[in-house]
Amino acid sequence: MKLSSCGWILFAIITGCQSYKKQKEKLPDTPERGSISVSADESFQPIVDQLAKVYMSNHPGTRINVYYKPEAECFRDFFVDSIRMVITTRKHSQDERNFMIDSMRISPESMIVARDAIAVIVNPGEEIADLTMENIKDILKGRFNKNLIPVFDGVKATSTVRYMIDSVLKDEPMTPQAVAARSSKGVVDHVSQNTGVIGFIGISWIGNPEDTAQISFLKKVNMLSIQSTDSVGFFVKATQRNIHTKRYPMVRDLVYTLKEKHNGLGHGFADFMSGEIGQLIFRRAYLAPAYQTFEIRPVRLKE
């Protein structure tokens, strides 16, 4: 019995679909099933927890295991086979890319999916409401007219410390009095219990006015306003609008870097973060999504 040309085409399609299905079943994981390990900057824990929870809820056959660490440790995990993705504040460097290509035979992918900011907090007993970036630089160097000891989520290897050294101090030395808390929550706790200190923390920990945990944090500390980037003498807080417009001066990126040889769960989670639902989650968390249209409308308030 001879097959017509249409029959041969149908046979090829069926055979190809069966072959693709078998190949997919052999993969260790896909966007719909399996598990992966992710290293994430500790300062992003609240938002990354939300993203992973929603993804796994939408894909019940998946498991995203997130390990929260200082940023430098996340970058070291670039070279650990079991870690498929890292979520930090910067993209991989060219040297890091070359190493992964040469030694691991993997070409990494990076994308900025949102932006957050570094908030500045003090004890409610401090009589201070706003600062300039020059003030912050003096505080970090121990030269401010009022002695305020900086508190970080660690004094080295964290994204917050790196930002302060690179972008504020411009590689000048930081005061040796700087205090290291064990975590971002530890920064809030230390500042709430002590005067004479000033904390620096990722806004995703205290910037969501709809999150009960973050509301409780803001009852313990005061968030300061910083002089805006576009108007001398005008001070702004790290709100979603000011992060989006970069009027708030200490804005940074939220970046994923993926090293995955096949179209697996890592690709699925990456697409989710940059897609509509992921971007809405960033927006709902009061960060600035990188790929969702962000409308700013003038509002007239009645006094």
Q: Is the sign of the CA dihedral 157, 163, 164, 168 positive or negative?
A: positive
Residue 249 near residue 229 (C-beta atoms within 8 A): yes
State residue 106's pLDDT score.
Answer: 87
Q: What is the mean pLDDT of the chain?
A: 89
φ/ψ of 188, rounded to 5, equals: -60, -45
State residue 154's pLDDT score.
Answer: 85
The residue type found at 292 is: Q
Q: How distant, in Å, are the alpha carbons of 118, 131, 245, 296 from that of 134?
A: 16, 8, 21, 29
Q: Which of 174, 216, 232 is nearest to 198 (CA)?
A: 174
Alpha carbon distance 280, 283 (integer Å): 5
State residue 30's pLDDT score.
Answer: 96
Number of H helices, E strands in the chain: 11, 13
Q: How many residues does the chain have?
A: 303
Would you say residue 45 has pLDDT above 80? Answer: yes
User: Which tens digit of pLDDT belongs to each residue from 98-107?
Assistant: 988 888 888 8
Percentage of residues of the chain with pLDDT beyond 90:
75
Would you say residue 13 has pLDDT above 80? Answer: no
φ/ψ of 180, rounded to 5, equals: -105, 115
Alpha carbon distance 100, 103 (integer Å): 5
Place of tokens 């409401």: 129
Would you say residue 21 has pLDDT above 80? Answer: no
State residue 302's pLDDT score.
Answer: 46
Would you say residue 90 has pLDDT above 50? Answer: yes
3-state secondary structure of 258: strand
**Residue 158 bridge partners (DSSP):** none
Q: Which of 146, 142, 152, 155 is nearest to 125 (CA)?
A: 146
Query: Could you tell me the pLDDT band of residue 223, with boundaries at 50, 70 and 90?
Result: very high
β 34-41/62-69 pair status = parallel
State residue 299's pLDDT score.
Answer: 47
State residue 292's pLDDT score.
Answer: 72
Q: How distant, in Å, are the alpha carbons of 206, 288, 294 from that of 242?
A: 15, 9, 12
Alpha carbon distance 160, 117 (integer Å): 10
State residue 293's pLDDT score.
Answer: 62
Neighbour order of strands in the sheet with 235-236:
130-131, 225-227, 235-236
42 vs 14, more confident = 42
Domains along the chain with CATH numbers: 29-115+252-289 (3.40.190.10), 117-250 (3.40.190.10)
3-state secondary structure of 298: coil
Whole-angstrom Cα Rg for the chain: 23
Contacts of 170 (CB under 8 A, 6+ apart): none
Write out the two tokens for 73: 């440790």
Q: Which of 40-49, 97-106, 207-216 has the lowest mean pLDDT?
A: 97-106
Query: Could you tell me the pLDDT band of residue 301, with boundaries at 50, 70 and 90?
Result: very low
The residue type found at 148 is: L
Alpha carbon distance 52, 54 (integer Å): 6
State residue 38's pLDDT score.
Answer: 97
Would you say residue 10 has pLDDT above 70? Answer: no
3-state secondary structure of 124: coil
Residue 288 near residue 244 (C-beta atoms within 8 A): yes
Query: Could you tell me the pLDDT band of residue 303, with boundaries at 50, 70 and 90?
Result: very low
State residue 86's pLDDT score.
Answer: 96
Would you say residue 12 has pLDDT above 60? Answer: no
State residue 161's pLDDT score.
Answer: 94
State residue 78's pLDDT score.
Answer: 81
Mean pLDDT of 214-241: 95
Would you say residue 114 has pLDDT above 60? Answer: yes
Query: Could you tell me the pLDDT band of residue 298, with boundaries at 50, 70 and 90?
Result: low
* Whole-structure pTM value: 0.86
User: Which tens digit of pLDDT belongs to each residue from 249-270?
Assistant: 999 999 999 999 899 999 999 9
State residue 289's pLDDT score.
Answer: 96
Query: Could you tell me the pLDDT band of residue 25, with boundaries at 50, 70 and 90?
Result: low
Alpha carbon distance 71, 261 (integer Å): 24
